[in-house]
Amino acid sequence: MAVLEKSRKVVAESLIGQRIPKMDAPEKASGKTRYIHDLDLSGQLHARILRSARIHARIKSIDTRAAKALPGVHVVLTAADLPDQRPIGVAKDHFPLKGEVVRSQRDEIAAVAAESVEIAEAALKLIRVEYEDLPVVADARAAIAPGAPLIHPPRQGAPAGAAVAYTGRPDNVAMRFDYSHGDVIQAEADSDVVIEDSFKLHYVTHCCMGVSGVIAEFDASGYLTLYSNTQVPFLHKREFAEYLNMDPARIRIIQPPIGGGFGSKLDVYPFEVICVFLARAAQRPVKLVFTREEEFLASPTRQPVLLTLRSGCKKDGTLTFRTVHTLHDNGAYTSWGATTPFVMMQTFSSLYRVPHCDYHTTAVYTNNPYAGSFRGYGNLQATFAIEQHMDMLADAIGMDPLAFRLKNAQESGEVTGQGMVFKSCGFKDCLTTAATRSDYVVKRAAYRARQKDAGAVKRGIGMASMLHVGGGAKIYPSDGCGTMLKMDDFGALTLITGASEIGQGSETVLAQLVCEELGLPISAVTVVNNDTDITPWDVGVHASRTTFIAGNSAIGAAKKAKAKILAAAARKYECAEETLDLKGGFIVRKESDEALIELAKFIRGLHFSDKAELVMTTFYYEPPSVHQDKGFKGDVSATYAWATQVVEVEVDTATGIVSMTHVTGAHDVGRVLNRLGLEGQIEGGVIMGQGYALTENLMVEDGRIRNPNFRDYKLVTAPEIPAMDVSFIESMDGEGPQGAKGVGEAPAICIAAATANAIENATGVRLFELPFTPEKVYRALHGQTEKLYWAPWKPE
C-alpha cells in the first residue's frame, strides 16, 4: 500500500509475486454466490431429458401422449417435433434429440418441460419407446476390425460435403492424424537400443462439484438469453445460432459462477440445445440441471487411448527416434477428445530432442460414452507412455534416468522438428530442482536395492516431465482476447474482459496485472467477465491460455489508460510524460516518487472540465503464434510451459494398495504472478493427477457406465493427499504478461507417469495400464496381467 511520508514520497510494493486472495472468495465462503443451480427466473419451467434405455438401437416408435396429458406438463419434445434440428458437435455428427437411432447410453430421446422437476420426472416415466436392438461396438479395436457394425452407416441422398449426421461414414473412423519429422526407419537402424510397448489409458471424467445446468429464456421479441456454464461463450454464441437457426446477434450468453470446468464445457452438448427448444416451445424460461448420476452418464470423459510407442537411443544416451500409433475411442460422437493428438504429438515430437518422429492416430466411433476435452488434453496419456520409456531406455543403457533426461532435454533457443520455438525454457532447471529437492538419485538407487527385502511394504520414487502450451494455442485463426478498461472519478477501475472465470482465479490475476500498471490496489478493481452483451470477444478458457492471453490484453488496455492519464498530467504539470508515473494511487514524479496529485482527484478534474476526457480504453491482444500447417507443424503457442514432478509411493504388496506419500514439483511458470493462486492451481492439478493415476476409473462395460456415483467413482479425499513440495522456475518469458506463462493444465500431466516409474522402482514391476487400483497392482505383482500389446492398425 501507498505510504505518504513527509517527503511526499510514495512507497508502494509491487503486486507481482504476492499472495493475493481470490476476489470472489469472500462471497463463495459465505454461501452467497449464486451458481446456476441457485438461479430461478419467474415463470420458469423445469426440464428433464429421457435418455436411451439401449446402447445401440433403432427407435421404432415413441409415444408421448400420456406424458403430455400429465397435469403440470407444458411441453414434450421428440425429434419428430423438430424437423429442423441441425447436427451439433465437433464433427456435426448428431442431433440434440435422436429420432432414428440411439448410439450410446446417454442418447437423448425426449425432453419434458413442466412446472416442477418432480412432474417432469414423472412425465418421463410415461413415455413409451420401442427399440430394435443393433449390434453394439464396445471396443475401439472391434470398431476398426473388418466387417465391424457401423455406428454412422452411409446414407443415400445427402448432398456432398454435408455433415456426418446427414451422410454417415463408410467406416467407423472419425478422424486421422499423421505427423512426421525426420526418418524413423533410418534412425531405428542407427539405434543401439530399441523398445516397444503398448499402453492403455482409461476413462475418467471431470466430476465438477457443481453439476451441469442451463437456463434458456426468450424475450418478447425472440431474443435468447442463455445462462450457461460454457467455457467458450463467444464461439458458442455462433454455434447456438447455427443449431437454432437464429441470428447470433440475438443470442446473449451469461455465465453465472461455475462449479468447476476443467475443460468439460468446451463443446455444446445436446442438453443445452434441447433446453432452448423447450423454452422456445413453452414460451417460458426453462431450467435444466443434471442429477449427479446424469452428470456421470452424460458428461464428456477424458479420451481413452490405446497407444503403442517404439523408442530408441544410442549407448551414449542420445535419443534417436519415436514412432507412435494411437487408437482413440471417440465414443458414439466426435467431441474434442478426438482432437487431443494436436497436443499429444507435441509431447512426442518436442518434449525432448527427438531427431526423428512418426505419430499416427486413428479416432474411431464406438457405442461408448463420448470423450471431450479435459485439463491436459491428451498430454497425460502421451506423457504416461513417453516418461516410462525414458526410464526404460535409461535402464537399458545403464544410465541414470535423470542424466538421461538432462542429456535430451530441450533448452532455450531450440526449434523442434514440429516447428515449436522455445524462446524461454526452464526444463533443465525443473529437472535438477525437482531431483535435488526430492533426493531422487539417491533414493531411487536405495529403493531399488531394497526391492527384494523382507516386508510387504515397498517404497519407490519416480520422475516425469512435461511440455505444454503456455502462451495460448492457435487452434482457431485467432487466439486473441479483448479488454475494456474504465476508470471512474474515484479512481475505481472496471475491468471488462472476454476471459471466463471457472474457479482458476483469472479475475484476480487480471486485476493484479492492471493494478500493477496503474499503481492501484486490487481493491480498486471490479471485474466484469460473464456476459457476451458486455464483454469483448475471446476464444474461451482452455489451453492454459487465460493468464497469458487475457493478461497481455489487460496490460495493453492498462498501458493505454496510463498513457492517457500521464499525457493529461504532463499538460497540467508542464513536464514530459516520461518523467511521470502512477504509483500507490498517485501521480508521481518518476525519479523521486514524489506525489503530485491523488489519481482519483486528477481523474475528477479530467471529467469536470470543459474539455472533459474519460479514461476508457480498449485493447485486443493476439499472440505472436501461428496456425499449424497441414503437416501439423508450426509454432502454435507464444510460449511453452515445462515441469518436472517426482512422486514417492508406498506399495503394499500384500494388497496392491499404492499410497502416494510425496510429490515434488518444479514448474517453469515464466514468472510467479499470484503465488497463492498459482500454488492452488498446482496443488489441485497434482491431486487430479493422483486420482487419474490411482483411484478414478469410469467403468464402461458394453457401452454402459457401471459406476455413475461417487461411491464407486473414487475421487481423492483429504486424508489421501501426499505431502507436496512445489518450486517455481522463473524463466521470465519475453512475451508473457510480466514474464508469466500459462500453467493451469501442467500440474495434472506428469503424475501418472511418475507414479508408474515409482511403482517400478519399488517393486521391479512396470505397469502399462491405468489406473493403478489395488487389484490391478496386486495382479501385476503376482504375474497375473497379460502383456498389453496393441498392434497398430495401419491404413492400407
Partner 1 sequence: MNQGIERYLAPQSLDQALFALQELGEVTLLAGGTDLMPQAKAGRAKFKRTLMNLRGIPELKGVSREGNTLRLGALATITELLHDPLVGEHLPVLREACDHFASDQIRNAATLGGNINNASPAGDTLVPLLVLDAEVELASRPDEAIYRRRMPLSEFFVGPGKTRRAPAELLSAVLVPCPAPGHVARFYKFGARPALDISTISIGLAGVRKNGHLENVRVAFGAVAATPLRALATEEALEGRQLDAQTIARVAATARQEVQPIDDLRASAWYRQELVHNMLTRMLEHVAQN
Partner 2 sequence: MSLKTEIEFTLNGVKRRATVPVEMSTLDLLRDVVGLTGTKYGCGEGECGACTIEVDGLTVNSCLMFAVDCAGRSVNTIESLAGEPLGERLRAAFVEQGAVQCGFCTPGMMMQAAHVLSACGAQDDKAIARGIEGNLCRCTGYKKIVEAIAVAGKATGA
Q: Which of 22, 545, 589, 776 binds partner 2 (CB under 8 A)?
A: 22
Which lies closer to partner 1 via its Cβ, residue 162 or residue 715?
715
Choose between 103 and 458: whose C-beta lies nearer to partner 1. 458
Q: Out of partner 2, partner 1, none, which partner does residue 724 contact, by CB within 5 to 8 A per kind?
A: partner 2
Q: Which of the listed partners (partner 1, partner 2, none) does 68 bind, with a CB threshold of 5 to 8 Å by partner kind?
A: none
Of the candidate residues 282, 502, 558, 698, the single one contacting partner 2 (CB under 8 A): 502
Question: Which cell numbers in the block locate residue 252?
Answer: 446473449
CB of 201 to partner 2, least distance (A): 20
Query: Residues 258, 259, 263, 267: is their CA dihedral positive or negative?
Result: negative
Choose among partner 2, partner 1, none what residue 779 binds, the Cβ cut-off being 5 to 8 Å by kind: partner 1
* Minimum CB distance to partner 1 smaller for 309 or for 759: 759
Residues found near partner 1 in the complex (CB under 8 A): 118-119, 121-122, 456, 654-655, 657-659, 694-695, 699, 706-707, 711-712, 714, 717, 719-720, 774-775, 778-779
- Least distance to partner 2, CB of residue 19, Å: 7
Q: CB under 5 to 8 A by kind: which of partner 2, partner 1, none does 340 bind? A: none
Give min distance, CB of 720 to partner 1, in A: 6
Distance (Å, whole) CA 320 – CA 352: 11
Q: Cα dist. 606→171, 560, 571, 615 in Å?
A: 68, 16, 12, 9
Using the minimum distance from each CB to partner 1, give the nearer residue, 79 or 123: 123
C-beta separation of 436 from 725 below 8 A = no
Residue 626: partners with Cβ closer than 8 Å, 6 or more residues away: 474, 634, 635, 636
Strand spans (E) along 282-337: 286-289, 305-313, 319-331
CB of 206 to partner 2, least distance (A): 8
Cis peptide before 771 (omega within 30 of 0): yes
Cα 692 to chain centroid distance, Å, stands at 14
* Residue 33 in the binding site for partner 2 (CB under 8 A): yes
Residue from 417, 684, 774, 792 in contact with partner 2 (CB under 8 A): 684
- Smallest separation (angstroms) from partner 1 to the CB of 778: 6
Residue 184 Cβ, how far from partner 2 at the closest point, in Å?
A: 39
CB of 686 to partner 1, least distance (A): 17
CA atoms of 111 and 362, how far apart (whole Å):
34
Exactly one of 3, 25, 534, 732 binds partner 2 (CB under 8 A); which one?
A: 25
Q: Least distance from C-beta 680 to partner 2, angstroms?
A: 5
- The closest alpha carbon to 656, from 751, 754, 771, belongs to 771
CB of 719 vs partner 1, minimal distance in Å: 5
Cβ contact 435:441 at 8 Å:
yes
Q: How far is the CB of 703 from partner 1 (least distance, A)?
A: 15
What's the closest the beta carbon of residue 654 comes to partner 1, in angstroms?
4
Binding mask 455-494 for partner 2 (x = CB under 8 A): ----------------------------------------
**Does the protein bind partner 2 through residue 125 (CB under 8 A)?**
no
Distance CA 152, CA 193 (A): 43
Q: Does 724 bind partner 2 (CB under 8 A)?
A: yes
Query: Site for partner 2 (CB under 8 A): which residue of 195, 399, 406, 721?
Result: 721
- Nearest approach, Cβ of 751 to partner 1 (angstroms)? 16
Q: Taking the mean position of all CA atoms in its chain, how far away is CA 37? A: 23
In this structure, is the dihedral angle defined by the CA atoms of residues 497, 502, 508 and 510, taken in order, positive or negative? Answer: negative
Question: What's the half-sphere exposure (Cβ side, CA atoms, 13 Å) at 734?
Answer: 8
Q: Are 307 and 198 in contact (CB under 8 A)?
A: yes
Among 261, 263, 482, 656, binds partner 2 (CB under 8 A): 261
Q: How far is the CB of 106 from partner 1 (least distance, A)?
A: 18
The Cα–Cα gap between 326 and 348 comes to 12
34 binds partner 2 (CB under 8 A): yes
Q: Which stretch binds partner 2 (CB under 8 A): 163-171, 575-583, 650-658, 673-681?
A: 673-681
Q: How far is CA 189 from the centre of its chain?
A: 39
Nearer to partner 2, 207 or 278 (CB): 207
Which range touches partner 2 (CB under 8 A), out of 238-246, 580-588, 707-715, 769-777?
Answer: 707-715
Residue 436 binds which of partner 1, partner 2, none (CB < 5-8 A, kind-dependent):
none
Helix (H) or strand (E) holding 497: strand 493-497
**Cα–Cα nearest to 266, from 335, 198, 167, 170:** 335
Q: What gap in Å lies between CA 306 and CA 136, rounded to an integer?
A: 20
288 three-class SS:
strand
Site for partner 2 in 275-304 (CB under 8 A): 291-292
Cα 762 from Cα 462, distance rounded (Å): 9
38 makes contact with partner 2 (CB under 8 A): yes
Q: Which of these ranges, 178-186, 408-416, 429-437, 680-688, lies near partner 2 under the rule CB under 8 A?
A: 680-688
Residue 742 near partner 2 by CB under 8 A: no
Q: State the minimum distance, in angstroms, from the CB of residue 435 to partner 2.
A: 22
Out of 9, 24, 400, 531, the residue judged to bind partner 2 by CB under 8 A: 24
Rounded Cα distance between 621 and 625, Å, is 12
Residues 418 to 437 in contact with partner 2, rule: CB under 8 A: none
CB of residue 706 to partner 1, shortest distance in Å: 5
Cα 109 from Cα 470, distance rounded (Å): 41
What number of CA atoms fall less than 13 Å from residue 3's CA on the CB side? 5
Count, residues in the chain: 796
Q: Which is nearer to partner 2, 228 or 323 (CB)?
A: 228
Q: Which three cell numbers stand for residue 320?
A: 534417436
Residue closer to partner 1, measured from CB, 121 or 488: 121
For 644-670, give the secondary structure using H, E and C: EEEEEEEEECCCCEEEEEEEEEEEECC
From 11, 29, 145, 567, residue interacting with partner 2 (rule: CB under 8 A): 29
Cell numbers placing 492: 475505481
Return the one option of partner 1, partner 2, none that residue 505 interacts with (CB less than 5 to 8 A, by type): partner 2
21 binds partner 2 (CB under 8 A): yes
Q: Which residues contact 31 (CB under 8 A, 6 or more apart)?
A: none
- Strands of the 128-133 sheet, one edge to the other: 101-102, 57-63, 128-133
Q: Applying CB under 8 A, which of residues 262, 277, 348, 586 lies at the interface with partner 2?
A: 262
Give the orientation angle of helix 506-518 with respect to helix 551-573, to 10 degrees.
20
- What is each CA distance from 229 to 294, 358, 463, 616, 756, in whole angstroms? 16, 38, 36, 29, 35
- Out of 168, 182, 248, 260, point to the residue binding partner 2 (CB under 8 A): 260
Return the residues of window 161-220 that contact partner 2 according to CB under 8 A.
Answer: 206-211
Sign of CA dihedral 603, 607, 609, 612: positive
522 binds, among partner 1, partner 2, none (CB under 5 to 8 A by kind): none
Residue count, binding to partner 2 (CB under 8 A): 55
Calculate the CA 49 to chain-centre distance: 27
SS3 content of the chain, % helix, strand, coil (to 5): 30, 25, 45
Residue number with CB closer to partner 2 (21 or 631): 21
**CA pair distance 253, 531, nearest whole angstrom:** 6
Query: Of 89 and 285, which has the nearer Cβ to partner 2?
Result: 285
Query: In the complex, which residues of this chain contact partner 2 (CB under 8 A)?
Result: 19, 21-22, 24-35, 37-38, 206-211, 257-262, 291-292, 502-505, 676-677, 679-680, 683-688, 709-711, 715-719, 721, 724
